Amino acid sequence: MENIFLNKVKDNAAVRIWAETTHRKKGNSFMEGYVSEL
């Protein structure tokens, strides 16, 4: 059970990093609030 939880945490971190990187590259104000809340 712990492994599943840890995998989800890692996936969430990867998605957050991807979103932040995409935001920086594209300069989308669309994701600005979402990223800053994390």
Tens-place pLDDT, residues 2-11: 788 888 888 8
Model pLDDT for residues 11-36, shown as the tens digit of each residue: 888 888 888 888 777 665 555 555 55
Give the number of domains in the chain.
Answer: 1
Range of the domain at 6: 2-37
Q: Do the Cβ atoms of 23 and 32 come closer than 8 Å?
A: yes
Does residue 38 surpass a pLDDT of 80? no
pTM over 0.75: no
Contact present, 37 and 23 (Cβ < 8 Å): no
CA end-to-end span of the chain, whole Å?
A: 25
Whether residue 1 is predicted with pLDDT greater than 80 in this model: the reply is no
